[in-house]
Structures are given as structure tokens and as C-alpha cells.
Amino acid sequence: MRKYYVLYRFYVAFALIAVGILIHLTVHKGWQWSWIFYTLGLGTILWDIFIGPMMYLQKLVTDGDVDGAKDILNSIKFPNLLIKPVRQGYYMLKSNFDMANQNLDDAEANIRKSLANKSSLVPQQEGVSYLQLGTIAMQKGDSKEALKNLKIAIQKGLPDDDNKATAYLQLCSLYAQRREIKVAKEYLRRANNCKIKNDEIKQQLREINKQMARA
């Protein structure tokens, strides 16, 4: 039910205003009641313009409903009107979907839009953005750009040990490719010191430890 409300929220808002007008015109002293519908309708429209359904979007992503999240994301018609912290999250989420579909150019463009709308309310989001830029550069084979962005990500700060370990492991791999084994092992040491929760990252760490033991 909530999904349909979010998808058709503009229609709901206009219906509330229409009910308010109807009461205003047809009921004796209807203006005393119609203002409630005007306020609800106008509030819904303003909320949608400046905040949007981002909280509901995050819940869908957390619950694993990717298709539902995409439907809601596509229903946001004027993202540039969203307030800055919400706009930052909107472009970041778009970039996540682009990366999942291997649309690397679109993902990079949306991450840069997210960075252009960075907010002091979510400071560590900047670090995550640079981490993603580093990952994209690695996938494109641009090791120089990858190194630069991964180091910026660490400098800006990452929100948890899973993200930190990801950055360290990618830096370890890049330096190992450059035959700078001492530097690579230092980043591997930092990754090993992280309290990793994600099973995929744990497996990646085990594999790189095996490879570096033979280096």
C-alpha cells in the first residue's frame, strides 16, 4: 500500500486539495474545515519536491527490493529541487544501480553529481563517493586514477570497517601490480586490522593474504 501511495503521491495531494475546494464551496462555513485538506495537500507537494521518498527508498534497498527501489527512484522527476543532503543521496543511489548494471560511465557521472551536492550533514558520504570512483577506475584499468581516488577516500573518512577494508584491499592490489610489494603489504596489514562483517570482503581478504604470502 505504501509503495502505491509513494508512486501516486502527487495525485493524492491534488485529490486532497480538490476535496478542500469542494468542502469550501458546498458546505456551510466549509472554509473552517477545508484548510485542513489544503494544508495536507500542499504539505505533501512541498515534501515531495524538497525531500522526496528517499527514506522509503533506503528501506526498499535494505529489504532487497531493488526493482521496487528503481521504480520509486524513477518517480522523482525534479531531483535538482531536492534539498542538498537528499540530492546527494539520490545521485549516490543512482550510481549504485548503474554500477550494479556495469554502466560505469553513468555511475561515474552520478557520483560526481553527488560530490557536487555534498553536504556537511553527511560528511562520510564523500569518502564513500571517492571509494566508488576508485573502484570504477580500477574496472576501467586506470590505475593512476584509482590510486588517487582511493587515497582521497581514506583521507576523507569512511563510515565503517567494511568500507575501509575494501579501500585497503584495492590499494594493496594496485601496488602489488606495480611490484611495490612493501607498500602493498602495508595496506594488507591495515585491511587485516579491520573488523570486517561482510562475508564477500572476508573471502577477498583471505585470497589476497594467500597471494601476498607468496609474493
Q: Please check whether residue 128 is in contact with residue 155, taking contact to mean a CB–CB distance below 8 angstroms.
A: no
Q: Which of 100, 167, 93 is nearest to 127 (CA)?
A: 167
Residue type, 102: Q
pTM over 0.85: no
Give me the tens of pLDDT residue by residue for the chain, a chain 215 residues long.
566 656 667 778 888 889 889 888 888 777 788 888 889 888 887 777 777 777 777 777 777 777 878 887 888 888 888 888 888 888 988 998 898 888 999 999 999 999 888 776 566 688 999 999 999 999 999 999 999 999 999 999 998 999 999 999 999 999 999 999 999 999 999 999 999 999 999 999 999 999 888 76
- Which cell goes with 52? 522526496
List of E strands, the chain: none
Residues 6+ away with beta carbon under 8 Å from 112: 133
Q: How far apart are CA 75 and CA 208, in angstroms?
A: 42
- Which cell goes with 61? 534497498
- Which cell goes with 187? 595496506
Q: How far apart are CA 122 and CA 113, in angstroms?
A: 15
